[in-house]
Structure 1
């Protein structure tokens, strides 16, 4: 097992956290998480960066890598008390979240104006046909976002990029936590996290993470109850070989939140005023989202010799779901108060296998350092279940005073028996060459072969799609003086679709490409970083929501923009996180894309008192600005939101904390496409934790 190596004196934990953010971690996660071990064991510290894994699936400082990535570490997740994955990047550039309000059964992101895919520990999480796998934030060590096409190393991915959640890992030192939370919307949570060595030599280590929580949704008559348990075990079989076993099981029992509302009564005036943001148009006694998700896998690392090493990640996942979700559909013709509703029905399961194998070699000459990686990835998805998409369900509902119960439950003759099988194999090659410690040259190529079978057992019909794709990527960076590193990169993406249109036909694969130019700045001696990037991104075969909420596949969509991001300590006690995003996203024909604001900006300051009577107190606050967006001829106004936190460490091992999001309880429409969505109301959560 590798040990820690330091090139400079160690810093304070807070400083180290920021450097990791710059360090940029990908905490190995990406790689699958093998590199996850790096988050614990292989930390290489220079004057400004921490190496904990990279967007290249090899250990290298991301400030010296021509790929765009942002990361949020465990310390920040705890400081802002992140409750769902889509709250993670509120204070990072290039990511839009919360545009559908608070949803208790899905995480929603837009990255650079497009959808993204979600990974956990470097392996794909399947989210298809309303079957949603949801990582629990309490079980995560960090979360990373790759911006733009990323198929080169991670297989299928949409043009926006990918989110990679890194699970908590065993630690070499004994540690633990008990955490109790209460808050508004009947929030209650109890979490336990304990880890450490199991043997005297420390070659076997464990971690046990468990949590239970309940909370009402942001809409009336909605709620969710979750149970989560994640054990892990790390074994050093020799100095050259280690394996980390990861498992998790999570059960959700919810009345789903459907934030869909009509433009009429939200951004459009009515004779009866605006609808209440908390109004639900579901059926509380019928709607349900019962989900059980479980996974088991491992990460193997083996050093073959001084030049070559082998890494393998493997995971089996199972998702069982029973979903009945009623939503508002359209205004009833001739009525000022009534609207029709629809229903999404899913009752089935997904079984998936994902594997990634990598052979990595590194060698040197007097002027160069060369890192070659040869990889082979495999994904297998099997989906079986009953489904129905009813665009008319029950009687029309009064949008200002909804009365529930006027519906007929779905019958067997309305259900379709669906089976989808997909296999994808990807072979990839990447070479990174450093010359004179001044130039970094990066080149990658990947070949994917995907086969998808969509079987409608009700009608006895089968559709098959065979997709082959070659993807390319390249980049160049100059390592300048004073930690100023300009770069240029090109990347591509390829995403076969396992879902079907309203006629039961498989969608064509989504394809994307991106040019990006930027600079990463990490001055020696400063605990922080600043990045700036401009990009030009294009996606073909895009999926868009049309009238009635149906998804249709259209032509080219584009996005150009500018991103600025920085994290750093202004003093030993005062830390600043700031971001600005400009995104010009357009649909086919040059029309502006709905949902996507042109401007976003955020800043967060926190101050830790380290001496005197206030020692142990930490105060933080942030401001988030979300610019106006459009939908056809409708303009959704911009909004400024305020968040705040206070924590106090006392009695040696105790911490009390209060987090308030949307401090002023601002009522606002977050975005509109075919529907409109109110933003999340004020959230207040108090927590008490004991750590050892």
Structure 2
């Protein structure tokens, strides 16, 4: 999406170093409420799990904090980590019947989702006012151009968000953050579930999830997850059908050596949801009224989105002794895409709009591997964990593409008629190949003194290069860069569940273009200072966190007076985030968040500090679930209600009004096997514009989905 920046002077900045009482937004995960296998190669096993209710049960309590692998890649509780990480566990994914990855993060601080409505072929995130990169099981998911890898929530057990620059452990990345999904793993005990879903917009789903040990081989466990899902899109004539299956296998060779094999195969067929609309008829009034949010400016008989994605990988762990452990995480991914996507481009009359076309036909291959050596020592009053890592990433994308700024005849914006177009000509297509690789070497050390003071430091060296070749024209652009990234942090466990901290992190993001003088641009650099406090007292099933951050990207491209782009710009985001998850009283769980995000960007040498498009300054959410007491008429029954508020955003002289939408759920356990639930989002079907960035986008309409599951 393009980002047209408003012409508005920068507000006075607060000095984050002086915010001594600012609080941290690192979210502690409620433990996966089942006896799942811990992820083997991505992180050593957490402390022994506390028994909890079966998966999907309406009677669940938050378990103690668990270790996750996204923040540090080592098995240290997040309560001892001077970084911000939000976690959504599987119980919440099930309760909310999450349908997409961006849907999973609606109730977490500092994360903007839904700004482009309900898309059926891309997950959209903004974290702390910047783009975020997506990982799965600790390895990058490549999403170059329109080759957007989709992660079905039915196949994952947890979502984690690293907020802020993440290059210290992951290499090249935008400064906003990193979203890591954890795949479902084989279980020690035989169990399973079957799901059947139905809902509005012709929604239907069948899913199964079975796992357990192989007969007569207790050291070998399997899991098989599969799903069929289909639904019509937010825009008329858009729809998608998905087939997904994910087999996995775990082998415990010895107590010290484990191997987990993770695979998945997915096929999507449909028409893309093109939410692009003009401010004329959406945000602005016209003599003809407003454009209906379901209006499509695409060509139903021509547009299509057909994609196939497959991946095969493994996670290996071997403990040499009580001190040293080696872990290796590797994956091969392949994606094929056939995309025809037409959209409205500009108004050319009182009722007419011109259209453009995006055409993609190609495939993408990616290989990733991450090697880690972890050493753990303990002396009197000192605990030390050293991480040494070497990772490698490679991408090869090959295909043909077209980008037309004039496609077919102008279309009526208020009453479109279709069919007045000619398919894209072969002469308008470009054959393109993108090849890139990254090699990174990193060192990180965390020391805990007297069970109180935690010190963190790390450095990483990356070698990254990419070549973007236009094979039709015989031209190429790219980059070849080396980069050092640094991090540091300090946390003090003050008692009573309070842990104030301060941290510094960096990122780098290469640019695959050249200057007017054909010289390589420098990578965009991200730097963040963060201070905060975490609150997780003993005896309370929950946490509360608050953080203040100052995040700056330098080497941003801006437009010079001569009309070409130069690297003298800056994009800055400052804010405060609050997040809490916890039980208050018997059976009542609250999830709440508030975010203040002030994001500004230099547009040109003459216009600096303009407020960034799409990004609201204020966001807030509150969700409550109540489980009725046992041995009552409504026992085994859970209800929930949520509210999500998004403040106004801007796009130049346009102001997008704030909005509030409501969600609800009802879950009933008929017995130990059968469960029935109904979930609704935007239950009052509020009609609103979610954001504008030259185009304007309606927010997602009401969604009501029912589900029946059988568990054993």
If the TM-score is normalised by the length of the shorter chain, which range does it land in?
over 0.9
Task: Summarize deviations over 1:82-111 as a string: whole Å, max 9, x none.
Answer: 101110111110000000001011000000
Structure 1 position 674, deviation (Å): 1.0
Question: CA RMSD for the aligned pairs?
Answer: 2.6
CA distance in 2, matches of 1:679, 1:309: 48
Structure 1 position 51, deviation (Å): 3.0
Partner of 1:619: 639
Structure 1 position 543, deviation (Å): 7.1
Q: Which moved more, 1:489-498 or 1:302-311?
A: 489-498
CA distance in 1, matches of 2:671, 2:633: 14
Partner of 1:9: none
Query: Given the superposition, is the C-alpha separation of residues 401 and 233 from structure 1 closer, same or farther in structure 2, using an over 3 Å criterion?
Result: same
In the alignment, is the contact (CA less than 8 A) between 1:113 and 1:559 conserved in 2?
yes
**1:274-423 matched pairs, under 5 angstroms:** 274-332=290-348, 335-423=349-437
In the alignment, is the contact (CA less than 8 A) between 1:43 and 1:51 conserved in 2?
no
CA distance in 2, matches of 1:399, 1:503: 42
2:709 is equivalent to residue 689 of structure 1: yes
Structure 1 position 511, deviation (Å): 2.0
CA distance in 2, matches of 1:544, 1:674: 17
CA distance in 2, matches of 1:53, 1:423: 24
**1:247-262 matched pairs, under 5 angstroms:** 247-262=263-278
Partner of 2:254: 238
In the alignment, is the contact (CA less than 8 A) between 1:54 and 1:62 conserved in 2?
no
In the alignment, is the contact (CA less than 8 A) between 1:24 and 1:71 conserved in 2?
no
Partner of 1:658: 678
In the alignment, is the contact (CA less than 8 A) between 1:90 and 1:97 conserved in 2?
yes
CA distance in 2, matches of 1:460, 1:19: 49
Partner of 1:563: 577
CA distance in 1, matches of 2:158, 2:285: 43
Structure 1 position 461, deviation (Å): 1.8
CA distance in 2, matches of 1:542, 1:184: 44
In the alignment, is the contact (CA less than 8 A) between 1:34 and 1:299 conserved in 2?
yes
CA distance in 2, matches of 1:79, 1:415: 46
Task: Summarize deviations over 1:138-187 as a string: whole Å, max 9, x none.
Answer: 00101111110011111222100011011100000111010000000000
Unaligned runs of 5+ in 2: 1-25, 52-61, 603-607
In the alignment, is the contact (CA less than 8 A) between 1:176 and 1:193 conserved in 2?
yes
Q: Which moved more, 1:289-298 or 1:192-201?
A: 192-201
**1:112-191 matched pairs, under 5 angstroms:** 112-191=128-207
In the alignment, is the contact (CA less than 8 A) between 1:152 and 1:444 conserved in 2?
yes
Partner of 1:4: none
Structure 1 position 35, deviation (Å): 3.8
Query: Given the superposition, is the C-alpha separation of residues 499 and 77 from structure 1 closer, same or farther in structure 2, using an over 3 Å criterion?
Result: farther
Q: Secondary structure at the match of 1:482?
A: coil
Structure 1 position 524, deviation (Å): 0.7
CA distance in 2, matches of 1:249, 1:543: 39
Partner of 1:596: 615
Query: Given the superposition, is the C-alpha separation of residues 28 and 494 from structure 1 closer, same or farther in structure 2, using an over 3 Å criterion?
Result: farther
Q: Which moved more, 1:521-530 or 1:502-511?
A: 502-511
In the alignment, is the contact (CA less than 8 A) between 2:128 and 2:176 conserved in 1?
yes
Structure 1 position 507, deviation (Å): 7.0
Query: Given the superposition, is the C-alpha separation of residues 323 and 151 from structure 1 closer, same or farther in structure 2, using an over 3 Å criterion?
Result: same
CA distance in 2, matches of 1:501, 1:59: 44
CA distance in 2, matches of 1:294, 1:583: 37
In the alignment, is the contact (CA less than 8 A) between 1:177 and 1:690 conserved in 2?
yes
In the alignment, is the contact (CA less than 8 A) between 2:116 and 2:699 conserved in 1?
yes
CA distance in 2, matches of 1:404, 1:553: 43
Partner of 1:21: 29
Structure 1 position 510, deviation (Å): 3.0
Structure 1 position 496, deviation (Å): 2.9
2:45 is equivalent to residue 38 of structure 1: yes
CA distance in 2, matches of 1:505, 1:463: 10
Partner of 2:7: none
CA distance in 2, matches of 1:526, 1:600: 26
Task: Summarize deviations over 1:465-511 as a string: whole Å, max 9, x none.
Answer: 21111000000000111110000000001223568999999875332
In the alignment, is the contact (CA less than 8 A) between 1:331 and 1:340 conserved in 2?
yes
Query: Given the superposition, is the C-alpha separation of residues 64 and 343 from structure 1 closer, same or farther in structure 2, using an over 3 Å criterion?
Result: same
In the alignment, is the contact (CA less than 8 A) between 2:28 and 2:78 conserved in 1?
no
Compare relative contact order (CA 8 Å, sep 6+) and give the higher one, 1 or 2.
2
Task: Summarize deviations over 1:106-131 as a string: whole Å, max 9, x none.
Answer: 00000000000000000000001111
Partner of 1:680: 700
CA distance in 2, matches of 1:143, 1:341: 37
Q: Which moved more, 1:501-510 or 1:337-346?
A: 501-510
In the alignment, is the contact (CA less than 8 A) between 2:30 and 2:89 conserved in 1?
no
In the alignment, is the contact (CA less than 8 A) between 2:221 and 2:250 conserved in 1?
yes
Query: Given the superposition, is the C-alpha separation of residues 577 and 501 from structure 1 closer, same or farther in structure 2, using an over 3 Å criterion?
Result: farther
Count residues in correspondence.
Answer: 667
Query: Given the superposition, is the C-alpha separation of residues 214 and 561 from structure 1 closer, same or farther in structure 2, using an over 3 Å criterion?
Result: same
In the alignment, is the contact (CA less than 8 A) between 1:23 and 1:62 conserved in 2?
no
CA distance in 2, matches of 1:571, 1:38: 31
Q: Name which of 74, 82, 93 aligns with 1:66.
A: 82
In the alignment, is the contact (CA less than 8 A) between 1:342 and 1:392 conserved in 2?
yes
CA distance in 2, matches of 1:516, 1:105: 34
Query: Given the superposition, is the C-alpha separation of residues 497 and 122 from structure 1 closer, same or farther in structure 2, using an over 3 Å criterion?
Result: farther
Partner of 1:610: 629
Query: Given the superposition, is the C-alpha separation of residues 552 and 194 from structure 1 closer, same or farther in structure 2, using an over 3 Å criterion?
Result: farther
2:104 is equivalent to residue 83 of structure 1: no
CA distance in 2, matches of 1:504, 1:563: 42
Q: Secondary structure at the match of 1:87?
A: helix
Partner of 2:56: none
In the alignment, is the contact (CA less than 8 A) between 1:32 and 1:123 conserved in 2?
no
Q: Secondary structure at the match of 1:572?
A: coil
CA distance in 1, matches of 2:409, 2:691: 27
